[in-house]
Amino acid sequence: MSPLDRPPHEATLAQVRASAPGASAWVAANAGSGKTSVLTRRVARLLLDGCRPEKILCLTYTRAAAAEMQARLFKLLGEWSLQTDDRLATTLRDLGLPGEPDRQALRRARKLFAEALETPGGLKIQTIHAFCASLLRRFPLESGAPPGFSELDDAARARMLDEIRDRLAAQAEAAPGAPFDAAAARLSEQGLESLTAAILGARDLFPEDPEPLLRAAFDLSPAAEYHSALARELSMTDPDDFARLVEAMCASGPSDSRFGEALRPACEALTTGDLAAAARAMEAAGLRQDGGPRSLRSLPTKAVKAAHPWAEELVELIVSQAAELRALRLAHAGFDKAMDLHRYARAVLDLYAREKAREGVIDFDDLIRAAGALLTTSETAAWALWKLDGGLDHILIDEAQDTSPAQWALVRAIAEEFLAGQGAQDRPRTVFAVGDEKQSIYSFQGAAPREFGRMRAHFREFLAAAAEAGEGTALQESSLDWSFRSAPSLLALVDAAFADAAEALTADAETPSHIAFHEQAPGRVDLWPLLETPERAEPPAWHLPVDTLPAQAPVLRLADAVAAHVQEQIDTAPIPDRE
């Protein structure tokens, strides 16, 4: 029987023979290829082979995914408990059980549902954050987590951040020049809210003393100040030479005159000692609008060169100096903005840390950081890993493309600890990951799709070395190319669109390839023209919020067009039933 002759879950299973319980496996899947189904059946197979439920750790990314996987597993095991002998034997053979299932295997399969229900604490199908929370509660002293802590969910964190911004604003009113003022001067209220949330997601980027690092980043000497740097840069400029050049250029043709008039404000500012104005005027005269140096092919003209031989060298000096002044201005402006950002970030993070400590809560990022430190850098890391080593035999990772580097470090520490001693164990120990880099959607929470391929390469090398030493087996890798959701025409479009951009999709830069399970399913691709912003758009009514988009905004027009098209399709072309 070919995969196309089977139901979707069985066709998927036929492609994942690398998921044999005794071997670690890495599965790269396509959209709609049944990743959760594969992982669910992997757990069922481990249970069928005698693994105790509490020895299996299954990590996924969201609570909804964890709940769905647990529901699928209980449904699957429940069906086994009620199936006839013949039907159950067929199911177990399709699951990869070697040989013909005997009565003992059938009895074992029927008892799994009750065993799973009766497992103390339930099956360990958790989000990675829930696992980290349980880890910190298991090692409270070693991890340094607050005693009896609770997790700070997204809604509670948003409220806490609102209160922190209000407190920082109040401090700024009482003491002008506070970090809040610099941030608020550059951003709207909505922008400030987004910035504050982004700071929490990148807290490692904001050290206590950022100035030395930022000065090095902008190539500024210690304690360098913009006005004094301008004075040094302009000290080589003679105002009298400027004045002579301005008069010579303005007395010539149109192109020379334009340069002379643009340079005149710089000459006047140098005379009065207004260095900032002089620098701005020199940039305007010596640079193009895009910031590049002005062309000197016809500047100054032959007439000016003949009458004033010194003018050519002075014009070249001014154009070169304008580029230096621009680089100096941008470096100092960037440094000032970065310092303002860091001051605001430190104010937010310090208040945030104090509020969390006062309320005895930690957020999701804290869970990952503290658990990672416990297992990798703490003085008791080896002991904590040894304790965990005795409690786990199998780690399964669902939606692995959304696992962040910090989360991978945690998984890697646990997995390497128990895989390193496979030869001394009397039972198989495995890591099983399934994911699709093309489906990663949690970059705002630190997800790094390329880590999926990088960690696959790491475990491939790690397990290959162990296999050569006679401990365990090499990593088994599979690719699920079948898609059970989309029509062939849609999949063909996706493959064609990314055929020349594979390096942007996967760590291995492999060209995507999809196989439609429903190969006769109808499909149509419509390419709509891009909607441009109108030159003149009616502003929103005065009583609407200030950030309300105008009715002619492209995003609103596109949303309306999509909604109207979907409604038309529902009304005129009902979706056919598909077996």
Q: So what's the pLDDT on residue 125?
A: 84
Gyration radius from the chain CA atoms: 33
Q: How many whole angstroms separate alpha carbon 271 and alpha carbon 466? A: 77
User: First CA to last CA across the chain, in angstroms?
Assistant: 18
Q: So what's the pLDDT on residue 124?
A: 77
CB 92, CB 157: distance < 8 Å? no
* 117-132 pLDDT per residue, tens: 887 766 778 888 888 8
CB 170, CB 413: distance < 8 Å? no
Q: Please give the residue that has the higher pLDDT: either 382 or 534.
A: 382
Q: How confident is the model at residue 563 (pLDDT cuts 50, 70, 90)?
A: very high
Element (H, E) at 30: none
CB 54, CB 119: distance < 8 Å? yes
Q: So what's the pLDDT on residue 122?
A: 65
Q: How many whole angstroms separate alpha carbon 313 and alpha carbon 294? A: 14
Tokens of 464: 């290959």
Q: Please give the residue that has the higher pLDDT: either 329 or 295.
A: 329
The three-point CA angle 250-255-257 to 5° equals 15
* 411-445 pLDDT per residue, tens: 888 888 777 755 445 667 888 888 888 777 777 66
Q: How confident is the model at residue 544 (pLDDT cuts 50, 70, 90)?
A: low
Mean pLDDT, range 213-220, rounded to an integer: 86
Q: How confident is the model at residue 564 (pLDDT cuts 50, 70, 90)?
A: very high
CB 41, CB 511: distance < 8 Å? no
Q: How many whole angstroms separate alpha carbon 384 and alpha carbon 414? A: 10
Q: Over pLDDT 70: what percentage of the chain?
A: 89
Q: How many whole angstroms separate alpha carbon 409 and alpha carbon 502? A: 26
Q: So what's the pLDDT on residue 349?
A: 92
Q: How many whole angstroms separate alpha carbon 579 and alpha carbon 576? A: 10
Mean pLDDT, range 193-222, rounded to an integer: 85
Q: So what's the pLDDT on residue 5?
A: 43
Q: So what's the pLDDT on residue 352?
A: 92
pLDDT for residue 6 is more than 80: no
CB 43, CB 51: distance < 8 Å? no
The three-point CA angle 28-52-69 to 5° equals 45
List, in sequence order, every residue forming a beta bridge with 376; answer none if it has no partner: none
- Within 83-178, residue ranges assigned H as helices are 85-94, 103-118, 128-138, 140-143, 154-174
* 20-75 pLDDT per residue, tens: 566 788 877 776 666 777 888 888 888 888 888 878 888 887 888 888 888 888 88
Q: What is the largest CA-CA distance in the chain?
A: 110
Mean pLDDT of the chain: 80
User: H helices then E strands: how many in the chain?
Assistant: 23, 10
Tokens of 420: 């390193």
The rounded Cα 497 to chain-centroid distance in angstroms is 23
Q: Please give the residue that has the higher pLDDT: either 84 or 178.
A: 84
Mean pLDDT, range 217-245, rounded to an integer: 77
Measured CA distances, 185 to 1, 140, 172, 181, 299 (Å): 68, 43, 12, 6, 41
List, in sequence order, every residue forming a beta bridge with 430; answer none if it has no partner: 394
Q: How confident is the model at residue 551 (pLDDT cuts 50, 70, 90)?
A: confident
Query: How are strands ordered across the β-sheet holding 476-480?
Result: 124-127, 56-60, 394-397, 430-435, 25-29, 476-480
Q: So what's the pLDDT on residue 265?
A: 82
